[in-house]
Structure 1
């Protein structure tokens, strides 16, 4: 009873001390935890059905899924592929194999074998086992339909391809006739068969040269291809061993005779054969003649230009196209340097105004050049 009086007395004094001018001060306690949000649906998404879809030894077809996974826990092995979501699928029809590869000891593989009794991994250095996916079509109608089948794109582009092939064949035949007619100017052959064979050799060399090969490489590949065709005929039993020996020796002698008498110039025209030493001496003499003919920093005329072109294109000099281009840039510059007599102080009606930037003054200036400063 005594303690309750003390408590009531203390409370009265606290109320009196908080009262100021008939106004009371009260402490309000607020929440210190953030309010949580409410969910409008209490559902979860469906599972993705991860895991193996085909087990060891099960048969699969092309494109069937073997394993769905998150991350590459299993790696694609023999005849298996992997998608961007790490799904492993079959690339060939066969049977599933889960295996380890000693060359990759930290990886687990899934593969497909072609035969049910095969095991993976295959021996590392053995030939790879493949299935071409072909079978014999026994019905003649179905076989003919398969041969004549074309996709829409093929059927649309085929006439254009056939037309282009026919045009190229006509050009080859015309070129063959031309080479055969020019052949008699450089070499005499006994029979018509040898003429046709020599003209065919020149045609093949011409095609190799137009493809970018050198004269020696073109001659070598032409001989090699012809002898290889004879070997194929021998393997097919189309010719006997004696015929093969006779034809190969005949072609080798013909090739040696043709190559020692005929060659092609830079413009793929026939000319008389010249040794590398003769070609080098002729080119040196032609360059010396050009040095005398073309005076540096002097105006060039049309006659001088034609003389330079005649020297560069001469069959005796045998300049290649790249050599001709380099010599043209040296002796027939499009614009001569700005020397005395090739720069005008004042504008003229016949002068050419050239605007350029002066990097020293960092200003654009105009230079007047006479027409003699340019290649006619």
Structure 2
């Protein structure tokens, strides 16, 4: 009986194991749901603003797929080809003769304006549409600045104050030195002439020539005078003409008597003929003073050469050229300029000898180096 129960139990276990091994997952992919008689909502494409409608900045004018309509004047285009207004104005649908195969949508700044504008006309820009009658709102609009501007304002004002102090100090120095060249000027003329020379100095440091610097200094003075006449009403037309005439007379006196040299120092004015003649004279004197630039010169000759090279007739580039020509920083090696470790007043130079492939020490006399400035 026990054996029968045992065999029956083993049979049940084998049958359950067989069932476990035979069960498998479904191998057929489930089908998706199918829906019929349905449609997606429309995308609401097409024009949103029509011819002559008034729009503000950012309003959508046309939604489209592809550029069937192109952005014209004062109109931008998005990545989905949506056209939107970039300036407040009036919508215009138009054709451009320079692009005959394209249709454009633009914004006219005025109600009676038509597009396209004349091709070679000045660009139409909007400088403000309405006048702020409320003084509080007008002041708020005038003083408005972005967060970035407000954060940078203290540093800007600080730098401006430093720059104004330097400019005032420079003008004061020019006013102090000006009577040395033009003693007949009164105090008011000296002050005005110093301001002109300060402006010329700024233009010269900016890279302009002396002639251009003088022209722009005169132009800026006359323009400021015109602003005082037109905008601020500080002066009358008669006073303006009188000041302009007085300034022109002062310009003739100052420009004929003083100028700036290559290092922006005030000096006596030279005409083009005088400058060229002085250049030739100084170069001839340098050739006579230093006939051979490869031979060392003594300190006295060197001082005389520097005086000739730094004359007011030479520009910075010309001075550098003459220095390299007559006062070479390093003279070529020669027997009389070489020494050994026991020679006095020498400079030890380590360099590679590519023939022996060793580093050698060469002792050169100090007088072979002429690059030092002698005062």
Shorter-chain TM-score tier: 0.7 to 0.9
Which residue number in structure 2 is paired with residue 312 of structure 1? 309
The alignment partner of 2:103 has SS state of strand
Per-residue CA deviations over 1:106-133 (Å, capped at 9, x if unaligned) read 1111223345665544455666654444
Matched, 1:155 2:143: no
Which secondary structure does the structure 1 equivalent of 2:180 belong to? coil
Judge conservation of contact 2:55–2:90 (CA < 8 Å) in 1. Answer: yes
Q: Which SS does the other structure have where 1:72 is aligned? A: coil
Partner of 1:270: 266
Residue by residue, what CA displacement relative to the aligned partner does 1:321-344 show, whole Å, maximum 9, x if unpaired? 111122222233333345555578
2:283 matches 1:287: yes
Which whole-Å CA distance do the structure 2 matches of 1:125 and 1:329 have between them? 53
TM-score in terms of structure 1 length: 0.72
CA contact (8 A) 2:171 2:195 kept: yes
Alpha carbons of structure 1 residues 370 and 299: separation in structure 2 relative to 1, 3 Å: farther
- SS at the partner of 1:98? strand
* Distance of aligned partners of 1:351 and 1:50 in 2 relative to their CA distance in 1, 3 Å threshold: farther
- Are the counterparts in 2 of residues 343 and 368 from structure 1 also a CA contact under 8 Å? no
Determine if contact 1:344/1:368 at 8 Å carries over to the other structure. no
Separation of aligned partners in 1, 2:31 and 2:329: 81
Per the alignment, do residues 73 and 342 of structure 1 end up closer, same or farther by CA in structure 2, a change over 3 Å counting? farther
Aligned pairs for 1:99-118 within 5 A: 99-114=94-109
Deviation at 1:76, TM superposition (A): 0.8
Question: What is the Cα deviation at residue 269 of structure 1?
Answer: 1.7
Task: Determine whether 1:204 maps to 2:205.
Answer: no
User: Conserved in 2, the CA contact under 8 Å of 1:345 and 1:368?
Assistant: no
1:79–1:92: 8 Å Cα contact kept in structure 2? yes
Aligned residues: 334
Contact 2:340–2:363 under 8 Å retained in 1: no
Contact 2:339 2:364 in 1 (8 A): no
Query: Residue 314 of structure 1: CA displacement?
Result: 3.3
TM-score normalised by L of structure 2: 0.73
- In structure 2, the partner of 1:23 is none
Q: CA deviation at 1:302?
A: 6.0
**Gap regions ≥5 residues in structure 1:** 1-36
Which of 64, 72, 79 is matched with 2:74 structurally? 79
Residue aligning to 1:56: 50
Q: Deviations over 1:236-260 (max 9, x none)?
A: 6644454344333322222212222
Task: Answer yes or no: is the 8 Å Cα contact 2:88–2:109 preserved in 1.
Answer: yes
* Structure 1 residue runs of 4 or more that deviate by more than 6 Å after TM superposition: 37-48, 343-346
Give the whole-Å Cα distance in 2 for the aligned partners of 1:61 and 1:273: 60
Distance in 2, matches of 1:118 and 1:282, equals 64
State the alpha-carbon separation in 1 of the partners of residues 44 and 337 from structure 2.
83
Question: Which residue of 1 is the match for residue 252 of structure 2?
Answer: 256
Distance 2:123 2:49 in 1: 24
Report the CA distance between 1:186 and its aligned residue.
1.4
Partner of residue 352, structure 1: 349
Residue of structure 2 aligned with 1:178, choices 157, 173, 176:
173
* 8 Å contact from structure 2 (residues 91, 105) kept in 1: yes
User: Structure 2 vs 1, CA of residues 261 and 125 (structure 1 numbering), >3 Å: closer, same or farther?
Assistant: closer
